[in-house]
Amino acid sequence: MGAQRGASEASGAGESQPPALEVRDLVRHFAGRGGTVRAVDGVSLTVGRGEVVGLVGESGSGKSTVGQCVVRLDDPTAGTVRIGGVDVTRLSRRALRPLRKDFHLVYQDPSASLDPRMTVGRIVAEPLVLHRMASGDALRDRVAGLLRQVGLRPELTDRRPHELSGGQRQRVSIARALAVDPLLLVADEPTSALDVSVQASVLNLLADLQRDRGFGCLFITHDLAAVEFLADRIAVMYLGEIVEQAPAAELFAAPKHPYTQALLSAVPVPDPPAQRARERIVLHGDLPSAVFPKGGPVEHAVDYCRFHTRCPLAVDRCRTEAPRHRTLPGGDHQVACHLVGDDGAAPDAAHPERQDRHTTHTTHTT
Ligand code: SF4
């Protein structure tokens, strides 16, 4: 379903206001045993005001690290993060404090993110108090209103997190995050710690709130069905970089990158004959380690496609040259794969470059 806005409308094309989030060439490297852990390696993406961008990929792809850098729970090695046009990348904690009302993170595990000593009312009220946005009766009314908006009875105000169900706790997290009307919500796997039976209701809640309040949302998940439901655009991450980005409907209808094709082939479709006719692309092996023995300084480029060890279509060139990020005709679909045609044709087994391929696989992992 998604948030049902065109990307250009959602991203505020033609408006003078800067987008909710602009990430440019974001890098987060760690020193690791045997080389550099390139957890995030040159990620660029934009979340328009009122737009939902899904950031998807396997565990270890670096998507949560992007989220942590965006909300400044982690410090990027290089690159910039702008929220509402303000560069927050290198602001001190003190300088960042008044800006924190503009962006909030909803964590995967609400049990870990809510202070067990505080009541629900205090948890939701705290950001309003910190940013001096309400007090007294007005504060109580705001908290009660927020609890109602997330589907919780105001009588729960005096309960503590351990007295609530997992779904109720995540609703409290969402109420707290939205209390100060942020420009940007970063939701990092917000439903994956919940029972399957309550995941859909929390997703519906997020979709309703996002539509009503119009905040931008970076929705980080490995759940492709959830991202199809919620996102206007989707960015696919693999081993620290975005390999494909496109409007959600376009990505699901015509994925170009072999990794995206493999991910989407595992998503069931609600039409039984179409489901039977689908061919599942099975990737062999897990996501490789993000330790690059040849990696080092930020500027030291990786000179191969990171996906070549698992790509069913890899050719010799994929092992010696990193694919460029190209924008396909139409201007709203980016992909990094040697075999995607300049006209946007997806790669297939009959691609001319595959005529002379050999089967030797090298590896860049440790
Ligand atoms: Fe596969 Fe090569 Fe394309 Fe990488 S560049 S996704 S290895 S075909």
76-129 pLDDT per residue, tens:
999 999 999 999 999 999 999 999 999 999 988 888 889 999 999 999 999 999
pLDDT tens, residue by residue, 52-68: 999 999 998 999 999 99
Contacts by residues 212-215 (CB-CB < 8 Å, ≥ 24 positions apart): 213/178, 213/181, 214/49, 214/50, 215/20, 215/50, 215/178, 215/181, 215/182, 215/183, 215/184, 215/185
d(CA 244, CA 130): 39
The C-alpha atoms of residue 194 and residue 214 are separated, in whole angstroms, by: 25
Range scoring the smallest mean pLDDT among 47-51, 142-146, 161-165, 269-273: 269-273
Q: What is the DSSP letter of 346?
A: P
Q: Is residue 255 in contact with ligand 1, taking CB distance under 6 Å?
A: no
pLDDT at 33: 78
Res 12: pLDDT: 43
Distance separating alpha carbons of residues 71 and 182, to the nearest angstrom: 12
Q: Decide whether any atom of ligand 1 lies within 6 Å of the 306 Cβ.
A: no
Find the mean pLDDT for residues 6-30: 74
Distance 314 CA to ligand 1 centre (A): 5
Distance 38 CA to ligand 1 centre (A): 19
- As given in the structure block, the two tokens for residue 212 are 């009503």
The reported pLDDT for the residue numbered 355 is 61
Mean pLDDT of 160-179: 94
Residue 196 pLDDT: 82
Spatial separation of the C-alpha atoms in residues 173 and 38, rounded to whole Å: 31
Distance (Å, whole) CA 48 – CA 293: 37
Cα-to-centroid distance, 291 and ligand 1 (Å): 20
Q: Tell me, in angstroms, the distance from the centre of ligand 1 to residue 239's CA.
A: 13
Inform me whether the pLDDT recorded for 10 exceeds 90. no
**Could you tell me the two tokens for 63?**
């998507």
Which of the four pLDDT bands, split at 50, 70 and 90, describes residue 15?
low
Q: How confident is the model at residue 296, as a pLDDT?
A: 58
- Report the greatest alpha carbon distance in the chain: 75
Name beta bridge partners: 276.
none
Question: What's the pLDDT tens digit per position in 308-354?
Answer: 999 999 999 999 999 999 999 999 999 999 999 989 898 876 677 76
User: How far is residue 334's CA from residue 328's CA, in Å, rounded to a whole number?
Assistant: 6
Mean pLDDT of 190-201: 85
Pocket residue to mutate for ligand 1, from 239, 311, 335, 363, most atoms within 8 A of Cβ: 311
Mean pLDDT of the chain, nearest integer: 87
Is the pLDDT confidence value at 3 over 80?
no
* pLDDT for res 61: 93
What is the mean predicted confidence (pLDDT) over 253-265?
94
Do 173 and 114 meet the contact criterion of CB atoms below 8 Å apart?
yes
Q: How confident is the model at residue 153 (pLDDT cuts 50, 70, 90)?
A: very high
Percent of the chain whose predicted confidence (pLDDT) is above 90:
68
Q: Is the Cα torsion angle 210, 139, 148, 224 positive or negative in sign?
A: positive
| pLDDT at 360 exceeding the cut of 60 | no
Question: How large is the average pLDDT for residues 15-28?
Answer: 92
Model's pTM, two decimal places?
A: 0.89
Task: Tell me the domains of the chain and their CATH numbers.
Answer: 2-111+173-253 (3.40.50.300), 271-366 (no CATH)
Angle at 202 between CA 134 and CA 225, to 5 degrees: 135
199 touches 222 (CB < 8 A): no
Tens digits of per-residue pLDDT, 31-53? 877 788 899 999 999 999 999 99
Q: Given a cut of 60, is residue 159 above it in pLDDT? A: yes
Task: Report the 10 Å Cβ neighbour count for 151.
Answer: 16
**Do the Cβ atoms of 340 and 257 come closer than 8 Å?**
yes
Find the helix or strand (DSSP H, E) in which 110 lies: helix 110-113
Q: Please give the DSSP secondary-structure letter assigned to residue 322.
A: P
Around 139, how many Cα atoms within 13 Å sit in the side-chain half-sphere?
A: 17
pLDDT at 297: 59
Using alpha carbons, select from 246, 248, 223 the residue that is nearest to residue 336: 246
Q: Give the residue whose CA is nearest to atom 6 of ligand 1.
A: 337
Whether 314 is in the pocket of ligand 1, judged by its Cβ within 6 Å, is yes
Q: Is there an atom of ligand 1 within 6 Å of 336 CB? A: no
349 CB neighbour count, 10 Å cutoff = 8
